[in-house]
Chains A and B, each alone.
Chain A
Amino acid sequence: MAGFTTRAIHAKYLKRDSHNSLHFPVYDSVSFEFDSAEDIEKAFLGQKPSHMYSRITNPTVENFEQKVKIITNGFAVVALSSGMAAIANLIFTVASRGDNIITTKYLFGNTYSLFEKTLKPWGLDIIYTNLTQAEKVESIINSKTRIIFFETITNPQLEIVDIKTLAWIAKKNNILLIADTTITPPYLFDSGKFGVDIEVLSSTKYISGGATSVGGLIIDNGSYDWNAIPKLNIDAKEYGPFTLVTKLKREVLRNLGACLSPHNAYLQSVGLETLPLRADKSCSNTLEIAKFLENQSSVKRVNYPGLESSKYYDVAKIQFPKGAGALLTFELGSKKECFKFMNQLKIIRRATNLNDNKTLIIHPASTLFCEYPGKLKKEMGVTEEMIRLAVGIEDIKDIINDIKQALEALR
């Protein structure tokens, strides 16, 4: 099989372009016409592979999905308008009122908000535990548990679970294992190899090619028997392994309308082609910066799973052999020092995002987690002294020099 980058660049179109365009064009059209009433009926019955309406399917979006399918060897791929839309649509598809999800409080702030403020009142029970302790996970599973949800590297705590153990527990109990792989997208992490059933991620990050557009992905590895979920029993009999993708495309995604725009699908298809180059560079930059920060007296603590001092170093090497992502955190003396340091930076941008081409910095406690009280922030592993650095692909000496001059200003 060809390598990841070759597959990303040379993925075949599902239908030959009428002008032999080397980049799949942007089909900015809402609707697609048919030659006959019989054809449109066949399309609606799923007997003809035709696009009908861009909220449901679109050629440019489908081409992006196909590219992701080819590079991941996934069973089915669905692209959506954002990473949050991917998580929400997926949960609405598989879980019902009264069901529960097992997860951790070490989550991206908006995902925690989705669980607590949106899904809990809707009737879903969210059980938080320490996912790094397998026995705890197994002890709280009950007949209403549908999902174990985790982030491959949590943001911003940078905790890493032993994924094969979690997969073993999920499989043994017929529970769906969902991984948010935003920090370690395909190329950095092979979710199927580690027993993850469904991968969700924000393609806004690495895949968009430098923060060009917002998007999300659901990748079904084809490993889960959908008969195990009561809500999907009837669909599973009719659609078999295609249950999730069918339920999404013919019901949940169609009805909620979180479709990826054709323009964004185009940008993300182009971004996908350079993903390995950017991931390699940003991961190696992150490791160098982390090593530099470890040797600075004004830095109290550095957290990066690629550092030998990290308690997750060994598991990161196994699960993410090409690099432990491009996110690190470090702590200064106080919130005031963090702000002073951030305001002194000349190249690094003060912004919220990650896996941009640019290096971005943020103070999580006062921004991403500002809506949560102090005690909860502490439980979520977010301190007032913590700074999050999302490392880009610039020349490493320039970024280190920028950090150096900002640290000197603290003295």
Chain B
Amino acid sequence: MKIKVNGKIKEFEKSVNIQELLSQNKVERPETVSVQLNGRFVKKEDFQTTFVKENDELDFLYFMGGGRA
């Protein structure tokens, strides 16, 4: 199964939920990350029950600051 994570195509053997995806991708400080699935924000309490499927687009974002306005 192919899905796009932060703009890059990644392959997964089976369907995974967002919690597992955070762990498999070794996302730093998962408690502070926000997740957008196909452009929609996923609530933290839904990370375990939300599964990704073929061709989904997933973005992990941190709202710490930075140069973008």
Contact = CB atoms under 8 A, between A and B. Distances in A.
Contacts of A251: 69
Interface stretch (A48-56, A87-95, A321-329): A48-56
Contacts of A250: 63, 65-69
A239 B66 contact: no
B66 A43 contact: yes
A50 B34 CA distance: 15
Interface in B32-69: 32-34, 36, 40-41, 60-69
Contacts of A53: 65
Interface string A120-160: 00000000000000000000000000000000000000000
Contacts of B36: 240
Nearest to B43: A241
Contact of A46 (B31, B40, B41, B61): B61
Contact of B29 (A15, A249, A254): A15
B32 A46 contact: no
Contact of B28 (A45, A48, A52): A48
A52 B65 CA distance: 8
Contacts of B32: 14, 49
Scoring B32, B36, B66, B69 by chain A CB atoms within 10 A of each residue's CB, the highest score goes to B66
Given A47-B60, A241-B41, A57 B65 contact: yes
A46 B29 contact: no
A76 B34 CA distance: 12
The bracket for how many chain A residues form the interface is: 20 to 34
A74 to B, nearest CB: 14
Given A240-B41, A250-B68, A14 B62 contact: no
A242 interface: yes
Contacts of B63: 46, 76, 239, 242, 245-246, 249-250
Given A47-B6, A47-B60, A249 B69 contact: no
A224 to B, nearest CB: 14
B28 A46 contact: no
Contact of A49 (B6, B29, B40): B29
The bracket for how many chain B residues form the interface is: 20 to 34
Contacts of A51: 64-65
Given A43-B64, A46-B68, 17 more contacts: A44-B66, A47-B62, A48-B28, A49-B32, A49-B33, A49-B64, A50-B64, A51-B65, A56-B64, A57-B64, A57-B65, A76-B63, A242-B61, A249-B64, A249-B65, A250-B63, A250-B67
Interface of B: 6, 28-29, 31-34, 36, 40-41, 60-69
Smallest CB-CB A-B distances: 6 pairs: A56-B65, A240-B41, A57-B65, A49-B62, A44-B67, A44-B66
21 contacts: A15-B29, A43-B66, A44-B66, A45-B66, A45-B68, A46-B63, A46-B66, A46-B68, A47-B61, A49-B29, A49-B32, A51-B65, A56-B66, A57-B64, A62-B64, A76-B63, A242-B61, A249-B63, A249-B66, A251-B69, A254-B65
